[in-house]
Amino acid sequence: MTPAAPPSRPEVVTPAGVIYDIGYQRYDGPRLGRGAVVRALYGSSLRSAFGIGRGGRAKIVPFGLFALAMLPSLIAVGVAALLNEAVEIFTYDNYLWELRLVFALFVAAQAPELVGRDQQHRVLTLYFSRALERADYVAAKVAAMVTALFLIMAVPLVTLLIGTVLGAEDVLSALGDELRELPGVVGNSLLHAILLAAMGLAVASYTPRRAYATGGIIALFLILGVVAGLVGELAEEGGWRYVVLLSPFALVDGVRRWAFGGRVAESPVDFDLVPGAAHLLVYLLVVAALGALVAWRYRRLQA
Amino acid sequence: MRGVSLVETEHLTKRYGSSVTALDDLTVTIEPGVIGLLGSNGAGKSTLIRILLGLLEPTSGRALVMDLDAATQGSEIRARVGYLPEHDCLPPDVSATDFVTHMGRMSGLPAGAARERAAEVLRHVGLFEERYRSIGGYSTGMKQRVKLAQALVHDPRLLLLDEPTNGLDPAGRDDMLDLVRRTGTEFGIAVIVSSHLLGEIERVCDGIVAVEGGRLLRADTLSSFTGRTRVLVVEVEEGHAALAEELGRRGLRVGLEARLVLVDAPDGAPHDVIRDAVVDLDLALVRLEQRRGTLEDLFRPTRPEAAGAV
């Protein structure tokens, strides 16, 4: 049956480099289930969030922004090591706040990479014509975006933490002190990553055009931030004071402070005006609504 | 006694909005083999294929693929089917190897197996060294091969190919049709291939399902469809009217269509007579070929008479 049976004709002289057409082969190996497929898509999406597996140019923006995010923590660690003096400009609490522009740019640049490309080149048809469910696709993409953002936030913070420990005079007691900060560091990064990913994907999943998606995400951050800033300053009283929650970074900083404590000087979060629980409630509602928007889009999308 | 049919549809109807009816009460049973889905553009071929995949929901009616219900068991169907869409669906900045490997993993193959299968199917479709280059630089023919490779990577039981020869030059068409034929006959994968060209379907298929306006025109084996397009097309630079007259005088049944002379050649090919007539009239012959059958020929029962009228 298989055409691979060796021909025994005597006139066949075998020159160097013969191509044997062994034709099409059947596949009898294992076939993995949904979970494995989702994990594979998650892995490849996470890599493409950093431009890995694409050309060199695709790596410039994500790795450039990653380097920017790392810079303050490396400087702080370096200065501490050289001068034996702690630099207190960046703390675990204010690090993400100070660098919020970097993270907003990261999600604006990379969310379209994760969800826009498949729509632009209509690869989505090939995904949806496989056993993979649409919800599986969305879950893998969301998880990859959250993880990418988490990494670009948590790695600098953890670097700062390690540097602080190593630069301390009493390393062991410093280790104990700093490890107590670890849940806050991880939690804070995760809170930021989830909100930013939800915002980025909610915009990017609605357009196959990369430029529109990136522009849209940047505009969303800018407009919300500016409106919240202006109105928030005018209205310190009454219902209008809740407008501060419109600012994504103020919102997430409020949740961070509610959960882990520690004030960020420049942040407009003021629990006397807007209570911490309100931040948490709005945060959960916003993330749920944005998630529903993404899910809705993929349910409606024609493959 | 018959085994499980490949595809069964019952009163399948698909409407877009209230005005567009893509499929209209289509009931057909398709047995395994290489089946041609024949119809002009907009006849409902793509709609039917997408309903079979569970990508579209029918407005009413039912479709079974390998005894699985397309409406409720779509994911089980899709696990056993390879699909080549009509439109572009490849990312430009990835190599064919990486892309087909990825699509293999998306069908549940383990990483190593996906890589091996990708190399195998890419070789099967005839992509060699170029498979390591980005797809963006490929010709249309190479892209169609990649699309076929991704449909084959998980070794499906059934291939659904939607206009696989779209946009290909004649040589590319021949290659693609050979590939479809070989995949279907040598390896026991059932194939449903759609086309608007009868000539293509004639070459590769055992059976034909012809649709028009969303309705079933005819479903039959190939042999019952053949023998209808024995029409030679003669194109000369000038003097087609004179040529038609001359050929008529030499005993051929001749018709005119625009600037083409059509010759009905039911028994054997009167190529010599045509050549001599062209030479005698001192005309410049542009082309002389068997007419590629189209739907028009198939569904216009008056074809021989039309060709015969001078």
Burial A268-302 (b: 16+ CB within 10 A, else e): bbbeeebebebbbebbeebbeebbeebbebbeeee
CB atoms within 10 A of CB A188: 27
Candidate from A3, A55, A130 with C-beta closest to B106: A130
pLDDT of res. B246:
87
Q: List chain A residues with CB under 8 Å of B150.
A: 126
Q: Which two tokens stand for residue B148?
A: 């076929």
Selected for mutation to probe chain B from A60, A130, A137 (highest B CB count within 10 Å) is A130
Cα–Cα distances (Å) from B160 to A58, A241, B83, in that order, read 34, 59, 5
How far A10 CA lies from chain B's nearest CA (Å)? 27
- pLDDT at residue B297 tops 60: no
Structure tokens at A162: 């390690």
pLDDT of the residue at A17: 56
What is the SS3 assignment for B254?
Answer: strand
Mean pLDDT of A18-22: 55
CA distance A92 to chain B (A): 39
3-state secondary structure of A55: coil
| Comparison of pLDDT for B134 and A19, the residue scoring more | B134
Confidence label for A1 from pLDDT (cuts 50, 70 and 90): very low
Interchain contact A299–B (C-beta under 8 A): no
**In chain B, what percentage of residues exceed pLDDT 70?**
88
A55 touches chain B (CB under 8 A): yes
Percent of chain B with pLDDT over 90: 55
Q: Which helix (H) or strand (E) holds B11?
A: strand B7-16
Q: Find, among B192, B183, B231, B211, the residue nearest to B7 by Cα.
A: B192
Question: Exposed, middle or buried by CB within 10 Å (0-12, 13-18, 19+), for B244?
Answer: buried
Q: Do A131 and B182 touch (CB under 8 A)?
A: no
pLDDT of residue B303 exceeding 50, the answer is no
Asked if the model's pLDDT at residue A4 lies above 60, the reply is no
**pLDDT of residue A61 exceeding 50:** yes
Q: Considering only residues A298 and A273, tell me which one the structure prediction assigns the higher pLDDT.
A: A298
Q: What homologous superfamily does CATH list for B7-224?
A: P-loop containing nucleotide triphosphate hydrolases (3.40.50.300)
Contacts of A126 in chain B (CB under 8 A): 83, 85, 89, 103, 106, 150
Inter-chain touch B83–A55, beta carbons under 8 Å: no
- Partner-chain residue, chosen from A44, A121, A127, that has the shortest CB–CB distance to B92: A121
Q: Which residues contact A198 (CB under 8 A, 6 or more apart)?
A: A142, A286, A287, A290, A291, A294
Query: How far apart, in whole angstroms, are the C-alpha atoms of residue A153 and residue A141?
Result: 19
Mean pLDDT, range B248-270, rounded to an integer: 79
Q: In whole angstroms, what is the distance from residue A193 CA to residue A61 CA? A: 18
Which of A41, A114, A129 best tests the B interface by mutation, with the highest count of B CBs <10 A?
A129
Count Cβ–Cβ pairs < 8 Å, chain A vs chain B.
105
pLDDT in tens, B61-97: 999 999 999 999 999 999 999 999 999 999 999 999 9
**Contacts with B186 from chain A: Cβ below 8 Å:** 3, 23-24
Segment A143-183, tens digit of pLDDT: 999 999 999 999 999 999 998 888 888 888 989 989 999 99
pLDDT category of residue B225 using cuts at 50, 70 and 90: low
Task: Band the pLDDT of A21: cuts 50, 70, 90.
Answer: low
Say whether B93 and A37 touch across the interface (CB within 8 A): no
- Class of B231-308 in CATH: alpha beta
Cβ distance B87 to A40 less than 8 Å, yes or no, reads: no
The residue ranges of every structural domain in chain B are 7-224, 231-308
| A53-67, A128-142, B116-130, B275-289, range with the lowest pLDDT | B275-289
- pLDDT of res. B269: 64
Q: What are phi and psi of B217, to 5 degrees?
A: -90, -45
When CB atoms are compared, the residue of A25, A121, A129 closest to B55 is: A129
Structure tokens at B50: 């997408």
pLDDT tens digits, residue range B131-189? 999 999 999 999 999 999 999 999 999 999 999 999 899 899 999 999 999 988 887 89
Average pLDDT estimate for A43-54: 93
DSSP string, A156-167: HHHHHHHHHHHH
Q: What is the pLDDT of residues B87-112, one digit of tens each?
A: 999 999 999 999 999 999 999 999 99
Nearest CB to B93; choose among A23, A54, A128: A54
Nearest to A27 among B92, B105, B155 (CB): B155
- Comparing CB atoms, the residue among B53, B91, B111 nearest residue A121 is B91
